[in-house]
Structure formats: C-alpha cells, structure tokens
C-alpha cells in the first residue's frame, strides 16, 4: 500500500479516485477541476502531472469474461482507474488483452488508427533503434496525490454512481461476420462500405418498420486541419432500394438494379463529403456560433433554418455509424447519440466484418432485432448479387 511519507496513513483521496470526476459533463468537470485547484495548492501539481503526460496507462487487475465485456469495459469501465479527459489512454487487462480509450474532442478515429498502425506494424526493437532509445532501468514510481475536502469527496462518489448507472442504462452487442469482408463485396462489384450501409438500412427497416436519419462519419483529412463531415446515408436511391427489397412482387433483377443504383449514389455522396462539398457540419457550427455568441453578433433569434422540420429530422439520428478499417483493430465503439439511436461502430476488413452496437437500454430490443436482421440482410444481398 502507498502511504504518505511520515504519516503512515493512506494518501488523501485514496478512497475517492479523482478520475471519476472526468466522467461528468465537461462543464461540470471544469467546475470540479476549479474546486480542486482552489482547495489545496498541491492539487495543481497533481493535475499538471496528469494533464501534461503524453498518455495514460490504465492497468486493470481483472480479465473480462469475453469479447463483449472487454468492449464494454473499454467504453465505460471505470473503477476510478480512468482519466476520461485524457486524449489517449491505454487500458490493459490482467490477461494481457488491451485497448485504447480516446477523448474525442480533438482526436478522430483516423488519427488513432494511424497511431496504432505505426505502433504495431514495426517491432518494438526497431522502434527503439529508430528513436535512439537507451536502457535506463526501471522508472522511479511515485503516487500522484489529490487532496479532497468532504464536498469534493462527495462529488467523486456521486459522479462514480452516476457513471455506473450510465453503463447499466446502456445496452451493447457485438456482431461478427467472419465469412464476409471487403474482398467479398468487391468480388460482387459493389463498394464494400456501400454494401454494408445498404444492409444497415434494410435491417433497420425490418427491425423498426421504417427508415430513419442515418449519420456516417466521412474523413476530410485531405484538408488542412480537416476532421470529418456528416454524410447522410438515406438517399432517394436507398429508399427505392429498400422498397424493392420489401415488395414480394419485385423480381430479383429489379432488386439488383435498385441495389447497384443505391450503391453508386452512396459512393458519389461519400466522395462529395470527402471533398468538402457537404454542408451539414458547416451549418451546424453556424448554429452553435449563434447559440454561443448570438447577442454580441446581433443574432438574438435563432435562424429559422434550425427550427425547420427538415433540419430537425436530419439531425435526429436513428443510426450513427462510423468505421475503423485497420487490421490491428478487432472492435471499436462509441455511445449512441440520442434516446432512440443505435451507435454502429464497424471494422470492415478484407476477410472480416465486426460491429459493436450501443443504444439506451429502454430500446435494447430494437438494437438486438437490428443485429439479427443485419445477418439476414447481408446474406440476402450477397446471394442477390451472386445470382446476378
């Protein structure tokens, strides 16, 4: 056990890990951080140690039971052993399995994938040689101590309880296709991403009885400081495709034609997003500027666009999707974006297709129905294109 020098007592705050505070909404965590700084001068140095570190390493003393639990622990596991405000945290479990938790404000998946690929495509010895690293022996370890008063300690405990409840209120599921991947879709003459996005729409129609606004993250990295654009997946061509698939009177040739037309429209729209020719992120930022700075800019009333049925429907996601195409990633995940949204995080590689789904617990049954229908949809589309 670590004790404070000269006291023989546990370090202050040992019974209330401060990392729990980083699970709170950002404004609340910022206020708690200010309270830490105001309470004791040593807290400034402790925060500086954590916040100036390149990354955090979270060593867990347990091993998750299976892949599903591993994914869940990486998404919202805590036990006070996380600093969710850190850009990159490596989480290592007792059995050696590991993953990364990322703070998303200034980092996107493409950056993390490049980082992971750079780490794992080169042996550790070669990394050491290229960096000029020299053995320096075991590092000196010392605890980082935070000093808390009763109010801060109570806030840590309440934050821990609220985050545990968040985890309990989130339903998740992993789905693995180990006999289908990007190579299969390409052999059928269809863009792999278009294939799976069409399968999502068909599965959603069957799970919920209707289509709904679907977000897909498209990287805009060709632009300086480019991050992502919001691609809206449901095109008129996709509506026609789903209708054809759901109409028993539609013949296979008509369905194939509708599928290929919808896939081509999907590719075109993705290319437009990559080129910066999609408007949503720009319009959204203008909305946020008006909310934050409207009075000083003379815009005291929200522009009518942002109250229009079209904008509100567009922004109300039923599916929020994003991919992480790296051979070094088995699964990745994120939380859903609304009370009825399914988060669809997918790894589509040449020989496999893995997904991690998340949604609020009250609509878990629809997420599981979506997962089951997705298996059927992938098989149907594959057979449809194979026979044509």
The per-residue pLDDT for 140 is 87
Residue 4 has pLDDT above 80, yes or no: no
How many folded domains does the chain comprise?
2
Same domain, 61 and 109: yes
Place of tokens 């989130």: 170
Q: Which residues lie closer than 8 Å to 142 by C-beta, 6 or more apart?
A: none
Residue 7 has pLDDT above 50, yes or no: no
Domain-located, residue 5: no
Q: 361 has which bridge partners?
A: none
DSSP calls for 71-107: HHHHHH--TT---TTSSEEEEE-TTS-EEEEE--SS-
DSSP alpha helices (H): ranges in the chain?
26-39, 42-52, 67-76, 109-120, 124-131, 150-168, 182-187, 192-208, 236-246, 252-274, 280-297, 309-314, 364-387
| Same domain assignment for residues 73 and 203 | no
For the cut 70, the answer to whether the pLDDT of residue 6 exceeds it is: no
pLDDT at 1 over 70: no
89 falls within a domain: yes
Q: Which of 168, 195, 210 is at the close of a domain?
A: 168
Rounded to an integer, what distance in angstroms lies between the CA atom of residue 364 and that of residue 362? 6
Q: Do residues 251 and 209 share a domain?
A: yes
**Which one of 133, 168, 203 terminates a domain?**
168
Do 89 and 190 reside in the same domain of the chain? no
361: confidence class by pLDDT, cuts 50, 70, 90? very high
Conformation bin of residue 197: beta by default, left when phi > 0, alpha when psi is -120 to 50: alpha
Q: Is the pLDDT of residue 366 over 90?
A: yes
Q: What average pLDDT does range 11-39 have in this prediction?
A: 89
333-352 residue pLDDT tens: 998 888 999 999 999 999 99
**Is the residue at 254 inside a domain?**
yes
Residue 120: both structure tokens together: 């794992």
What pLDDT is stored for residue 14 in this prediction?
60
Residues 177 and 118 in one domain: no
| pLDDT above 60 for 297 | yes
217 and 94 in a single domain? The answer is no
Domain holding 253: CATH number?
Answer: 3.30.559.10
Q: Which two tokens stand for residue 57?
A: 């390493």
Q: Which of 138, 168, 198 is the last residue of a domain?
A: 168
User: Same structural domain for residues 229 and 372?
Assistant: yes
Tell me: do 192 and 92 sit in the same domain. Answer: no
The answer to whether the Cα torsion of 260, 261, 265, 268 is positive or negative is positive
**CA trace torsion 217, 222, 224, 227 (10° rounding):** 10
Q: For residues 349 and 211, state if they share a domain.
A: yes
Which residues partner with 170 through β-bridges? 360
Q: Does 111 have pLDDT greater than 90?
A: no
Report yes or no on 182 lying in a domain.
yes
199 falls within a domain: yes
132 shares a domain with 63 = yes
Q: Which two tokens stand for residue 205?
A: 């129609």
374 and 233 share one domain: yes
DSSP 8-state assignment for residue 379: H
Is position 307 within any domain? no
Rg (CA), the chain: 24
Beta bridge partners of 352: 349
The residue segments making up the domain with residue 210 are: 171-278+316-387
Closest CA to 97 of 283, 330, 353: 330
Taking Cα atoms as reference points, which of 233, 195, 191 lies closest to residue 211? 233
Query: What's the whole-model pTM score?
Result: 0.91
Q: Is residue 155 located within the same domain as residue 244?
A: no
Q: Is 151 exposed, middle or buried (0-12, 13-18, 19+ CB in 10 A)?
A: exposed
CATH code of 65's domain? 3.30.559.70
- Taking alpha carbons only, the member of 178, 199, 253, 160 closest to residue 382 is 199
304 part of a folded domain? no
pLDDT of 13 above 80: no
Query: Is the residue at 267 inside a domain?
Result: yes
Q: What interhelical angle do 252-274 and 236-246 show, nearest 10?
A: 160
- Give the distance, in angstroms, between the CA of residue 362 and the centroid of all CA atoms in the same chain: 20
**Quick one: angle between helices 252-274 and 192-208, nearest 10?**
110
In which residue are the tokens 């720009």 written? 282
Could you tell me how many residues make up the chain? Answer: 388
């Amino acid at each position: 056990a670590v004790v404070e020098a000269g006291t023989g007592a546990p370090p202050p705050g040992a019974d209330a890990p401060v990392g729990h505070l980083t699970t709170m909404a950002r404004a609340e965590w910022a206020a708690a951080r200010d309270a830490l700084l105001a309470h004791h001068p040593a807290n400034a140095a402790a925060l500086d140690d954590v916040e100036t570190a390149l990354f955090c390493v979270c060593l867990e003393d347990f091993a998750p039971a299976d892949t599903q639990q591993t994914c869940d622990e990486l998404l919202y596991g805590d036990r006070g052993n996380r600093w969710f405000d850190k850009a990159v945290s490596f989480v290592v479990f007792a059995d050696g399995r590991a993953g990364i938790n990322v703070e998303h404000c200034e980092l996107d998946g493409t950056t993390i994938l490049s980082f992971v690929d750079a780490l794992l495509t080169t042996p550790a010895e070669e990394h050491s040689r290229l960096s000029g690293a020299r053995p320096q022996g075991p590092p000196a370890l010392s605890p980082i101590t935070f000093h808390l008063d009763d109010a801060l300690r109570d806030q840590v405990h309440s934050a821990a309880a609220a985050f545990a409840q968040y985890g309990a209120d989130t339903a998740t599921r992993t789905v693995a296709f180990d006999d289908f991947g990007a190579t299969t879709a390409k052999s059928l003459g269809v863009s792999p991403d278009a294939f799976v996005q069409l399968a999502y729409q068909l599965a959603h129609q069957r799970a919920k009885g209707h289509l709904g606004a679907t977000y897909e993250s498209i990287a805009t990295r060709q632009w300086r400081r480019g991050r992502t654009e919001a691609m809206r997946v449901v095109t008129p061509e996709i509506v026609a495709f789903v209708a054809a698939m759901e109409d028993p009177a539609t013949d296979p040739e008509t369905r194939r034609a509708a599928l290929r037309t919808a896939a081509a429209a999907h590719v075109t729209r993705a290319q437009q997003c990559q080129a910066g020719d999609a408007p949503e992120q720009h319009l959204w930022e203008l909305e946020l500027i008006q909310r934050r700075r409207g009075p000083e800019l003379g815009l005291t009333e929200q522009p009518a666009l942002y109250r229009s049925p079209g904008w509100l429907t567009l922004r109300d996601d039923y599916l929020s999707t994003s991919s992480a195409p790296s051979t070094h990633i088995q699964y990745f995940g994120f939380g859903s974006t609304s009370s009825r949204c399914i988060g669809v995080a997918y790894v589509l590689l040449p020989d496999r297709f893995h997904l991690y789904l998340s949604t609020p617990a009250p609509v878990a049954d629809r997420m599981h129905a979506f997962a089951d229908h997705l298996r059927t949809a992938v098989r149907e589309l594959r057979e449809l294109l194979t026979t044509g």
